[in-house]
C-alpha cells in the first residue's frame, strides 16, 4: 500500500502519538481545568504542554494565546466571524479552500465586502495585487499559506509586511503548511494563524486551533461559542481573556495529548529537514509525471515554490477513474475531484472535473514515488 493522501490527513502518525492518547485514556482521563484533584491537574498539564509545543513551533511568544479547537475550519470561522462586521472590507485570494470561502461568502451576504484577488493559472499570488486591492475600509487580509490543490505557496511574509505597513490584520490558513514549511508568526507578520493538527503536524483528527497575535484586540473579537470554561464560574458572562474566551466546553484532551507528542516530534526532526525531504520527493514526482505522455501536471512545476502536493490529470480518463484504478490495481491511495476548493480549480482551469492529487509527507519515500510513476505511466499508455 502507498498512502498519498496526506494533504487530506497524514498517515502514519509519528512514534508515540497513539501511546500518549492511550495513556491519557487509561491513566489520566479527567477534565482539564475543572477540578483541583491530581488527575484534573495532570490533564491540565497535558493541555498546557500542547500549547507550549504549538507556540514554540510557530514562534508565538505566549502559549496562552493558542486557542484550541477541533480543526482549522472552526479556527477560520472564529477569526472571520469574530472580527468582521457589516461594512468591513476583506481581501482574499482565488486559491482558497472552502473553509475560507464559505464563511466569507456568508458574511458577504450579511454586509461584509469581499475582494478576491486573482492568482495566476499556476496558483501564484502577486503581493502587489493584494496591496492594490486594499481600501480605506479594509479590515483584514485572509489567505491560505499553500494551496491544497496544487501546493503553491502564497507570499505570506510579503503580504504580512504590507499589512503591518497599512495597519491591517493578516489571517493565515496554515492547514497545508503547519509542520511542513517554516512558519514564524512574528517574523512573517501573521496576526491570526489557523492550524490543524491532523495533517503535517502528525496529530490526531479533532485537534487544531487559532494563534491570536498581540495586535488583535481580543476584547473586540466575538467568540464563536460561549459556555463553560472552568474559569470565572461565578459569572454568566463569557471570560474576556485568552485562551478561555474562545475555549468553551471540554477540550479534546485525549487528542491534545497526541498532538503534543507529534508537534514535539516535528520540532525534534526539524521543519527544515522535513521540508528538504518533501521538496526532493516533489521534484522527483513532478519531473516524472511531466515526462509521461498524456499527463498534465498543474501548478508551478517547481518543488521549491510549493508543498509536496501535486495535482495532475490523464488525458481521456476521468480523475475518478484514475483514482479508483490506482487504488484497486496498484494499492495507491490518493484524492480526486475538486478537493473542497472550487475557486482554486477555476483558477487553474480544472473546474468542474478536478484533478488527481498526490499528497506526500515526511514518511513518503523515493521508492513509493517511483512506483506511483510506473502506475500512472501504465494508465496513461491505455489512452495514448
* Average confidence score pLDDT of the chain: 97
The H or E element that residue 62 is part of is none
Q: In DSSP terms, which residues pair with 355 in a beta bridge?
A: 337
Rounded Cα distance between 61 and 51, Å, is: 11
pLDDT band at 383 (very low <50, low <70, confident <90, very high): confident
Rounded Cα distance between 145 and 143, Å, is: 6
The H or E element that residue 3 is part of is strand 2-3
Q: Find the mean pLDDT for residues 226-236.
A: 94
Rounded Cα distance between 156 and 173, Å, is: 10
Annotated catalytic, 334? no
What residue ranges of the chain are covered by domains with CATH 3.40.640.10? 17-269
- 208-212 vs 89-93, strand pairing mode: unpaired
Domain 17-269 classification at class level:
alpha beta
What residue ranges of the chain are covered by domains with CATH 3.90.1150.10? 2-10+270-383
245-285 pLDDT, tens digit per residue, is: 999 999 999 999 999 999 999 999 999 999 999 999 999 99
pLDDT band at 384 (very low <50, low <70, confident <90, very high): confident
| Residue with the three cell numbers 489567505 | 143
Q: Find the mean pLDDT for residues 126-134.
A: 98
3-class secondary-structure state, position 209: strand
Give the per-residue pLDDT at 76: 98
C-alpha cell at 135: 481600501
At residue 286, does pLDDT exceed 80?
yes
Per CATH, which fold does 2-10+270-383 belong to? 3.90.1150
Q: Structure pTM?
A: 0.97
Q: Find the mean pLDDT for residues 286-296.
A: 98
Rounded Cα distance between 282 and 279, Å, is: 5
For 363, counting Cβ atoms within 10 Å of its Cβ (0-12 exposed, 13-18 middle, 19+ buried), the class is: middle
Amino acid at each position: 500500500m502507498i498512502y498519498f493522501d496526506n494533504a487530506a490527513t497524514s498517515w502514519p502518525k509519528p512514534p508515540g502519538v497513539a501511546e500518549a492518547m492511550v495513556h491519557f485514556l487509561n491513566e489520566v482521563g479527567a477534565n482539564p481545568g475543572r477540578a483541583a484533584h491530581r488527575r484534573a491537574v495532570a490533564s491540565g498539564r497535558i493541555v498546557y504542554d500542547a500549547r507550549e509545543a504549538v507556540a514554540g513551533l510557530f514562534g508565538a511568544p505566549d502559549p496562552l494565546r493558542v486557542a484550541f479547537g477541533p480543526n482549522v475550519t472552526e479556527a477560520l470561522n472564529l477569526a472571520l466571524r469574530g472580527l468582521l462586521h457589516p461594512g468591513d472590507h476583506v481581501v482574499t485570494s482565488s486559491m482558497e479552500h472552502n473553509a475560507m470561502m464559505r464563511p466569507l461568502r456568508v458574511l458577504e451576504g450579511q454586509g461584509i465586502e469581499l475582494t478576491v484577488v486573482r492568482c495566476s493559472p499556476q496558483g501564484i499570488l502577486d503581493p502587489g495585487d493584494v496591496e492594490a486591492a486594499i481600501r480605506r475600509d479594509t479590515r483584514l487580509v485572509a489567505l491560505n499559506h499553500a494551496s491544497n490543490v496544487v501546493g503553491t505557496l502564497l507570499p505570506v511574509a510579503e503580504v504580512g509586511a504590507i499589512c503591518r505597513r497599512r495597519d491591517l490584520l493578516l489571517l493565515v490558513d496554515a492547514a497545508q503548511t503547519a509542520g511542513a514549511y517554516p512558519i514564524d508568526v512574528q517574523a512573517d507578520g501573521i496576526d491570526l494563524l489557523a492550524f490543524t493538527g491532523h495533517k503535517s503536524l502528525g496529530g490526531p483528527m479533532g485537534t487544531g486551533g487559532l494563534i491570536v497575535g498581540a495586535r488583535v484586540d481580543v476584547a473586540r473579537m466575538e467568540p464563536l461559542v460561549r459556555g463553560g470554561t472552568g474559569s470565572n464560574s461565578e459569572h454568566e458572562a463569557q471570560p474576556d481573556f485568552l485562551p478561555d474566551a474562545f475555549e468553551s466546553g471540554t477540550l479534546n484532551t485525549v487528542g491534545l495529548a497526541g498532538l503534543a507528542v507529534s508537534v514535539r516530534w516535528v520540532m525534534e526532526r526539524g521543519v527544515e529537514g522535513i521540508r528538504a525531504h518533501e521538496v526532493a520527493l516533489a521534484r522527483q514526482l513532478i519531473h516524472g509525471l511531466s515526462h509521461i505522455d498524456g499527463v498534465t501536471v498543474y501548478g508551478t512545476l517547481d518543488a521549491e515554490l510549493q508543498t509536496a502536493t501535486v495535482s495532475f490529470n490523464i488525458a481521456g480518463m476521468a480523475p475518478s477513474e484514475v483514482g479508483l484504478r490506482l487504488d484497486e490495481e496498484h494499492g495507491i491511495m490518493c484524492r480526486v475531484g475538486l478537493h473542497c476548493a472550487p475557486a482554486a480549480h477555476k483558477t487553474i482551469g480544472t473546474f468542474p472535473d478536478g484533478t488527481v492529487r498526490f499528497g506526500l509527507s515526511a514518511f513518503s519515500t523515493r521508492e513509493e514515488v517511483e512506483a506511483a510513476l510506473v502506475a500512472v505511466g501504465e494508465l496513461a499508455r491505455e489512452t495514448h
